[in-house]
Amino acid sequence: MGVLERVNNILRANINDMLDHAEDPEKMLEQIIRDMEAAIRDAKGQVAEMIAQEKMIKRDMEQGQELADEWARKAELAVKNGKDELALEALKRKKDHQSHADVYRQQWEAQKAGVEKLKQELEELESKYDEAKRKKGVLIARRKRAAAEAQVVQTAERLDSIDYGAELDRMERRILEEEARAQATAELAEESVEEQFAAMEADEELESELAALKAQVLGEQEEEV
């Protein structure tokens, strides 16, 4: 299983877990981004390790090949000097080193292919990460817009549920009642003033009547005298 496939499995598992727990979509997107960042770091570490192993295998291969080439030269030198036994020994060692070098070459080629595959998967993962970051902003904006639209609908529903005609009628009745009370208060105040003047006029009539009575009584007394 490749690095990208393992990462995809991890991301799918995390997304499914968040969906099961009904997490907030915005938080889910942020968590997915963080998971991808962690996956990229992990993939880069694996690629670096594979590259280091490739370099070590290549070094062992080159050293084995150098030794094989060195013993091949020694075998030629022994033949030129008529040293057949030394030439046979040199050829034997050259064969051993060449065998080791060939094994290392096969390992190196396989390791190199693995490294190239990991690099490609890492590039794909980084591309998906960049795409996810771009989509995150768009998706969050879309979610906020949807939430705003839902709020508008809810507000409209609440407004529709209110009978503004009845509310206005009730308010008008309250105003009429207040106006009636004010008029009643004013009328009472006016009546009080009129009553005071009427009382004053009644007092003046009594005073006049008293004065007339006094004058009459005093006049009759004078006549009797």
Give the tens place of pLDDT for each residue, 108-139.
999 999 889 888 888 888 888 888 788 777 76
SS3 22: coil
The reply to whether 175 and 130 lie within a common domain is no
Model confidence band, residue 22 (pLDDT cutoffs 50, 70, 90): very low
The reply to whether 200 and 105 lie within a common domain is no
Predicted pLDDT at 187: 66
Predicted pLDDT at 138: 73
The reply to whether 197 and 131 lie within a common domain is no
Rounded CA-CA distance 133/127 in Å is 10
Domain that holds residue 191: 163-225
**Tokens standing for residue 58:** 């290549």
The reply to whether 136 and 211 lie within a common domain is no
**Tokens standing for residue 26:** 């915005």
The reply to whether 123 and 18 lie within a common domain is yes
Predicted pLDDT at 178: 79
The reply to whether 103 and 124 lie within a common domain is yes
Count of beta carbons in the 10 Å neighbourhood of residue 66: 12
Among 109, 136, 162, the domain-final residue is 162
The reply to whether 172 and 126 lie within a common domain is no
The reply to whether 136 and 199 lie within a common domain is no
Average pLDDT score, the chain: 77
CB 77 within 8 A of CB 159: no
The reply to whether 178 and 196 lie within a common domain is yes
Average pLDDT over residues 184-195: 65
Predicted pLDDT at 147: 65
Report CA torsion sign: 50, 54, 56, 57. positive
Segment 11-15 long-range contacts (CB within 8 Å, at least 24 positions apart): 11/35, 11/36, 11/39
